[in-house]
Amino acid sequence: MTLINLKNKKTLTVLGLMSGTSLDGLDLCLAEISFDNQELKSKVLHFESISYTKEFKKYLGSLAYTNTAEICRANFKIAREWSDIIQNYLIKNSIDRDIIDLIGSHGQTIWHEHGQSTLQIGESAVLSHDLAIPCVADFRVMDVAAGGSGAPLVPFVDYLWFKNINRSTLLLNIGGIANFTIIPKNCISQNEIQALDTGPGNGLVDAAIQIATDNKLAYDKDGIWAKKGTINPKWLNKLLQHPYIIKPLPKSTGKEVFGKDYVRQIISEYNIQNQKGFENLVATLTRFTAESVFSAYQRFYSDKYPIDQILVSGGGANNPQIMKHLMELFHKSEFVKSEDFGIDPEAKEAHAFAILAAMRIWEVPSNVPKVTGAKKQVLLGKITF
Ligand SMILES: Nc1ncnc2c1ncn2[C@@H]1O[C@H](COP(=O)(O)OP(=O)(O)O)[C@@H](O)[C@H]1O
Ligand SMILES: [Mg+2]
């Protein structure tokens, strides 16, 4: 396959890969994508989330605290792991590799500093080589080159999915970090959408659970700890004054800010030690996650953008306590199911990166400058064959 042949295809079958800051696993979304007259059609053929082994999770977690040589090695090691996962996935699901035109790989974020730098690794040359499939990766860097923050990028896809809808819609994704896109009703231009990283997603709760159980548990399954604990209003108020929460737009963040280090700092500040203390911490951080989403909406958008409906995606949608708090805070809006719009909430991000990969091949610029702060629209992603 040559680049020109790929570009000339009216429909691309793309395998989107997402490995988020939660380090829970690799999401694979195989989708058939076309883009004609600015109209996106995208059908998910298959989706699966494959959990990482405990050792691999630990390895990925260690990369935040490592040296240059390890990062260099990790770039290849992670990609080899992914190509093994993909090969097994294809065999297990009897998917013929020849039907896949392209891979769209988000990469593993190692560092992200708003407006300055961002690094996603998992060398795409390895994926192209091992799987003999062209790959688009490293989506964020061209936006940063153009003066933006390289995040969030999914709003472009949200716009294509939800424009022309007669209800104003807020699309919230709760991964390690949370972000939302607002699509005003009857929206006809990208310039009308609003989006930001709101702050923590599951990342803080995950970190608290991991610290409390010495990594025996990875997350607060079904919000059980949060339900047992009591929200501490003093802690919560302090959390809501975090500099990121009050920072003006445009903004994006990462687990350098809302990650394990921050949770360790809170634990030490409030001298949290026993089981009850950790349950209260998890309850408070769970509430903080929901409140930081609402606070972003209140602070920046509520006067101009009343919200008719909210769709929640990402792993956080499976946490009943986060959802309960969100429903209480956004009580004026209706929470609707993504599935009703043909979008699997678990698959959404991997699906979006499959779409962004196709956009790169068709040379459609896919950053939204008003969201990322970039000076202009640019093509996102580097291509390897
Ligand atoms: N049943 C559940 N109960 C509570 N939290 C859950 C559940 N399932 C998933 N999660 C949360 O979702 C996270 C994974 O979300 P994901 O969207 O994959 O994030 P990322 O994009 O950062 O990888 C887990 O770390 C966990 O916090
Ligand atoms: Mg994940």
Among all bound ligands, the one having the nearest atom to the CA of 314 is 1
What residue segments make up the domains of the chain, in order of their start?
3-148+346-384, 155-341
Judged against a pLDDT cut of 90, whether residue 126 lies above it is answered with yes
User: In the 8-state DSSP scheme, what is residue 333?
Assistant: S
Among all bound ligands, the one having the nearest atom to the CA of 176 is 1
CATH architecture type of domain 3-148+346-384 = 2-Layer Sandwich (3.30)
Tell me the pLDDT tens digit for each residue of 328-373: 999 999 999 998 898 999 999 999 999 999 999 999 999 999 999 9
Among all bound ligands, the one having the nearest atom to the CA of 175 is 1
**Average pLDDT over every residue of 252-261:** 94
Judged against a pLDDT cut of 90, whether residue 247 lies above it is answered with yes
Determine the distance separating the centroid of ligand 2 and the alpha carbon of 350, expressed in angstroms.
9
Determine the distance separating the centroid of ligand 1 and the alpha carbon of 196, expressed in angstroms.
20
Half-sphere CA count of 317, side-chain side, radius 13 A: 19
Judged against a pLDDT cut of 90, whether residue 271 lies above it is answered with yes
Confidence band, pLDDT 50/70/90 cuts, at residue 1: confident
Q: Which of the listed residues 319, 326, 351 should we mutate to test ligand 1's pocket, taking the one with most ligand atoms within 8 A of CB?
A: 319
Which ligand 1 atom is nearest residue 202's CA?
27
**Average pLDDT over every residue of 10-38:** 97
Report the nearest-CA residue for atom 14 of ligand 1.
315
Residue 101 pLDDT: 98
Determine the distance separating the centroid of ligand 2 and the alpha carbon of 206, expressed in angstroms.
12
Q: From CA 129, how far away is CA 17, in angstroms rounded? A: 16
Determine the distance separating the centroid of ligand 1 and the alpha carbon of 268, expressed in angstroms.
25
Residue 226 pLDDT: 98
Judged against a pLDDT cut of 90, whether residue 65 lies above it is answered with no
Q: Which of the listed residues 22, 171, 349 should we mutate to test ligand 1's pocket, taking the one with most ligand atoms within 8 A of CB?
A: 22
User: In the numeric block, which tokens belong to residue 276?
Assistant: 């009850």
Determine the distance separating the centroid of ligand 2 and the alpha carbon of 245, expressed in angstroms.
23
Sequence-distant contacts of 222-226: CB under 8 A, at least 24 apart: 222/318, 222/319, 222/320, 223/286, 223/319, 223/320, 223/321, 223/322, 223/324, 225/278, 225/279, 225/282, 225/283, 226/279, 226/282, 226/283, 226/286, 226/287, 226/319, 226/321
Tell me the pLDDT tens digit for each residue of 196-226: 999 999 999 999 999 999 999 999 999 999 9
Question: What angle (nearest 5°) sits at the alpha carbon of residue 174, between those of residues 226 and 85?
Answer: 105
Do 155-341 and 3-148+346-384 have the same topology in CATH? yes
| Max Cα–Cα distance, the chain, nearest Å | 61
**Average pLDDT over every residue of 252-279:** 96
Q: What percent of the chain has pLDDT over 90?
A: 97
CB-based contacts of 108, cutoff 8 Å, min separation 6: 19, 60, 63, 78, 120, 121, 122
Residue 216 pLDDT: 95
Which ligand 1 atom is nearest residue 49's CA?
18
**Average pLDDT over every residue of 3-13:** 97
Q: Classify burial at 283, counting beta carbons within 10 Å of its beta carbon; exposed 0-12, middle 13-18, buried 19 or more.
A: buried
Among all bound ligands, the one having the nearest atom to the CA of 219 is 1
Which of 6, 184, 209, 180 has its CA nearest to residue 100? 6
Q: Which residues surround ligand 2, an ion (CB under 5 A)?
A: 20, 22, 24
Q: From CA 73, how far away is CA 289, in angstroms rounded? A: 34
Judged against a pLDDT cut of 90, whether residue 79 lies above it is answered with yes
- Residues 41, 55: contact at Cβ < 8 Å? no
Judged against a pLDDT cut of 90, whether residue 385 lies above it is answered with yes
Residue 103 pairs in a beta bridge with: 15, 135
Determine the distance separating the centroid of ligand 2 and the alpha carbon of 93, expressed in angstroms.
20
Q: How much is the mean pLDDT over the chain?
A: 97
Q: How far is CA 104 from CA 27, 100, 358, in A?
A: 12, 11, 8
Q: Where do we find the tokens 């499939």? A: 133
Helices (H) then strands (E): counts for the chain:
15, 13
- The CATH number corresponding to 155-341 among 3.30.420.40, 3.10.20.600, 3.40.50.410, 3.40.50.10490 equals 3.30.420.40
Residues lining ligand 1, Cβ inside 6 A = 20-22, 24, 175-176, 202, 206, 219-223, 314-316, 318-319, 349
**Average pLDDT over every residue of 80-94:** 98
Residue 242 pLDDT: 98
Which ligand 1 atom is nearest residue 222's CA?
3
- Residues 206, 222: contact at Cβ < 8 Å? no
Q: From CA 130, how far away is CA 84, in angstroms rounded? A: 9
Determine the distance separating the centroid of ligand 1 and the alpha carbon of 344, expressed in angstroms.
15
Q: From CA 61, how far away is CA 80, in angstroms rounded? A: 17
> What are the DSSP E strand ranges found in the chain?
11-18, 25-36, 39-51, 102-105, 108-113, 117-121, 135-137, 169-174, 177-183, 194-200, 309-313, 334-335, 382-384
Which ligand 1 atom is nearest residue 223's CA?
4
Determine the distance separating the centroid of ligand 1 and the alpha carbon of 144, expressed in angstroms.
28
CB-based contacts of 375, cutoff 8 Å, min separation 6: 146, 147, 148, 369
Q: From CA 257, how far away is CA 207, in angstroms rounded? A: 12
Tell me the pLDDT tens digit for each residue of 157-211: 999 999 989 999 999 999 999 999 999 999 999 999 999 999 999 999 999 999 9
User: Which strands make up the sheet holding 334-335, listed edge to edge?
Assistant: 194-200, 177-183, 169-174, 309-313, 334-335
Q: How far is CA 118 from CA 37, 108, 110, 176, 306, in A?
A: 33, 11, 8, 16, 33
- Residues 12, 41: contact at Cβ < 8 Å? no
User: In the numeric block, which tokens belong to residue 207?
Assistant: 């970190």
